[in-house]
Amino acid sequence: MPTPLEMQRTFALVGTGGCGKTSLAEMLLFNAGAVSRMGAIEEGTTCLDYEPEEVRRRGSVQPTCATYLWNKNRHFLLDIPGDGNFTGDMECLLMGVDAVVFVLDAVDGVRPLTKKFWSMTRAAGLPALMVINKMDRDRADFQMAFDGLTALGVKPVVLQLPIRQGETLVGMADVLAGRAHMFGPDGATAEADIPAALADDVTLLRDVAIENIAESDEELMEKYLEEGSLSPEDLRTGLRAGVLKGELTPVLACAALENKGGKALLAAIEALLPSPLDRPAFVGADGAERAPDPEAPAACFVFKTLADPFAGQLSLLRVLSGTLSGDMNLKNVRSGEGERLGGLLYLLGKTQTPCKEPVGPGALVAVAKLKNTRTGDTLCDEKAPFTLPMPALPPQLITYALAPKEKGEEDKVYAAMQRLLDEDITLRLGRDEENGDILISGMGQLHIELSVEKAKRRFKVDIVLKTPKVPYRETVRGKCQVQGRHKKQSGGRGQFGDCWIEMEGLPRGSGYIFEDAIVGGVIPRQYIPAIDKGVQEAAARGFLAGCQVVDFRVKVYDGSYHTVDSSEMAFKVAGSLAFKKAMESLKPVLLEPIVLLTVSVPDESMGDVIGDLSSRRGKVLGSDSQGGTTEIKAHVPMSEVLRYAPDLRSMTGGQGFFTMEFDHYEEAPQPVAEKVMAEHQKSRGGE
């Protein structure tokens, strides 16, 4: 029998890298009976981190789904990576769930990335409960982590207070019930009195929790003011109502590696988080609404695409409305094509189990080998079209060039990386029009490196990763007049083209302007475009360092032609020769691209980061500090920040993140220009 939707839960685990989300998922799955033993990240045996790259680096690289039954009710869990290299699609992933279990590290507390992820959770309108994990660690500090919640703007309701003896977690105090639960073997608990040392703390937290619950509902507030207290039933219903409205955030604690707190967390997820029926209607791209109703026309959203070595492409679907079953025909709204669903699959990491029953709203299922469906697509009943809008993805932060280890295999490299784009929508693949390099862009150095590793492993292609050429430009200042004359006679018909041009530099960003000032037919009209083309082709090849010349005007005002020997080709060569002469006269300069860098770091790292930016020739535009995090904006030459991600990680202990976007071009300092020109000459073999 299908699980009643009222008791179904669909949630994501969200938190920064290293806070223990995957271990927490293992604890939930073990306590729910979905796995027979808890895997360990250090041993590479977790259910959810199964890709070779994840096992090797001991951290999640891609989101993973799992489903389990708790009290015979089905829960769907989505484990989202916490490393900033792999969270570019988080907004898309959050569209697949109804709530968030937000995980904090009891040792490190709230980090800069924590605030970013929490903001994304709030922006998605998702209810959340907070779990402070790693309470078994030596330096675990529940109070420190809890105090950090004020920087997130959270209105907390503490449900559990850890009970520690020395450095050992021995139990949890149930704040609302006023009882302790002491841990035994295998996560079992025994009820006991609250330890005297914690009694006052528990009483204070209970009073604050009751006040916060009462304030979230007018009726409860009136009752609280009249009677001075609330019944356990009032607290339960009031707390859940406050969570669903996003006004209250329950706070629990656990030690996932020691399997302490798993059953209490499972109970809280079921008691406090919303069912699919509790969420508001989905709003389509055209403003139309679709309620999460199992009787409504079928619609589902593809929130992730994965590659499976046996099943091929797996599309992970969130059912928005209606009821899905295998062999169902739906329409892909983006492509306009029909898709026939094969068998629906429940996922438990890489383990796939066929669904034996239809699934309704909130279900996370996988379907293999859809023909023309990709991440972000909506599949729906052809008679009732509906499209869930895809959120905007953040800009890629870093670009590298790819090359085959063996010459001649460029197409093989490009094809291998192209196949990765189906499952990773935060990668961008392209070619450099100036030098033909294959370019791969992503969210950080680690993102690029692991993507290349994955392509090598799956598609058996040797790929060399190299830093791409910075897109320098050249320009000119002043004005000059020169002649471009091309005359060649080699038997038979000759070649003749002759033009006079005036060339001058323009303000930055003006681009290229060509003016035809020929009068009296000294150059026939049909040859003028050829002169323009010759100038443009020569400008694309550059003069100083093989970089495109920009921001200049060319006016052709005089010349001559031959009735037999003149041709478009001859005048194109003449235009090119005139351009080169003008460049020699105007003393061109090299321009370097400047990016706007926005860096978020812990306050204590601000000095190191600003000093580092200055050493990179950066100009700090300003900084803003709030809640222990400083945001720094700076203009920095692109060449200085091609490998900024690992350096920032090192300076901030992994706590900093940044965004980068092109801003403008500036004249490069002489040492930089000389180095770029020398490298260009070297690449040409010293010609």
- In this prediction, residue 433 carries a pLDDT of 64
Structural domain of 508: 474-587
* Interval 405-462: pLDDT, tens: 877 777 888 888 888 888 888 888 887 765 677 888 888 778 888 888 888 888 888 8
Residue 3 has what pLDDT?
63
pLDDT at site 346: 95
Looking up residue 457, the CATH number of its domain turns out to be 3.30.70.870
Cα–Cα distance for residue pair 308/485, rounded to 1 Å = 63
Residue 124 and residue 611: Cα distance in Å, rounded?
36
More confident residue, 50 or 361: 361
CB 503 within 8 A of CB 553: yes
Residue 670 burial (C-beta neighbours within 10 Å; 0-12, 13-18, 19+): exposed
683 assigned to some structural domain: no
**The pLDDT of residue 686 is above 50:** no
Using pLDDT thresholds of 50, 70 and 90, give the confidence band for residue 399: confident
Alpha helical stretches, state H, 345-444: 410-420
47 and 129 in a common domain: yes
Angstrom distance (rounded) from CA 634 to CA 671: 22
Task: Report pLDDT for 175.
Answer: 94
How much is the pLDDT for 61?
82
Number of CB atoms found within 10 A of residue 222's CB: 11
> Does 504 share its domain with 600?
no
List the CATH number of the domain containing 365.
Answer: 2.40.30.10
Question: What is the DSSP-derived secondary structure letter of residue 162?
Answer: E
Q: How many domains does the chain have?
A: 5
pLDDT of 192 > 60? The answer is yes
Chain segment 122-131, per-residue pLDDT in tens: 999 999 999 9
In this model, does residue 602 exceed pLDDT 60? yes
Question: Between the CA of residue 634 and those of 264, 646, 662, 667, 671, what are the distances in Å?
Answer: 47, 18, 12, 17, 22
In this prediction, residue 66 carries a pLDDT of 96
22 and 113 part of one domain: yes
Strand partners, 622: 633
* Nearest in space to 130 (alpha carbons), one of 148, 198, 27: 148
Q: Is 433 inside a domain boundary?
A: yes
* Tokens at 202, concatenated: 């528990």
299 and 318 within one domain: yes
pLDDT on residue 467: 75
Q: What percent of the chain has pLDDT over 70?
A: 97
Across 150-154, 182-186, 280-284, 629-633, the highest mean pLDDT is recorded for 280-284
Q: How far apart are CA 114 and CA 132, in angstroms?
A: 13
Q: Compute the mean pLDDT over every residue in the chain, rounded to the nearest whole number.
A: 89
| Token pair of 314 as six digits | 């797996």
Do 421 and 505 fall within a single domain?
no
Mean pLDDT of all residues in 383-402: 84
| d(C-alpha 357, C-alpha 3), whole Å | 10
| Within-domain flag for 574 | yes
Is 19 in the same domain as 101? yes
pLDDT at 685: 62
Whether residues 601 and 559 share a domain: the answer is no
Residue 14, pLDDT score: 96
Q: How far apart are CA 487 and CA 494, in angstroms?
A: 8
In whole angstroms, give the CA distance from residue 202 to residue 434.
67
Does residue 651 share a domain with residue 544? Answer: no
Beta carbons within 8 Å of 519's beta carbon, 6+ residues apart: none
Q: Do 450 and 411 share a domain, yes or no?
A: yes
Q: For helices 218-227 and 196-215, give the axis angle rounded to 10 degrees.
A: 130
pLDDT of residue 2: 54
Instruction: With respect to residue 501, please indicate whether it lies within any of the assigned structural domains.
Output: yes
Please tell me whether residues 132 and 267 are part of one structural domain: yes
150 with 265, same domain: the answer is: yes
- In this structure, the strands spanning 99-105 and 128-133 are parallel
Burial class from Cβ neighbours inside 10 Å (0-12, 13-18, 19+) for residue 565 reads: middle
Checking if the pLDDT of 522 tops 80, the result is yes
34 vs 489 pLDDT, higher one: 34
Tell me if 120 is assigned to some domain. yes
Please report how the helices 410-420 and 445-459 are oriented relative to each other, as an axis angle in degrees rounded to 10.
Answer: 110
217 in a structural domain:
no
- Does residue 304 lie within any of the structural domains? yes
Distance CA 96, CA 495 (A): 67
| Same structural domain, 263 and 371 | no
pLDDT tens readout for residues 138-166: 889 999 999 989 888 898 999 999 999 88
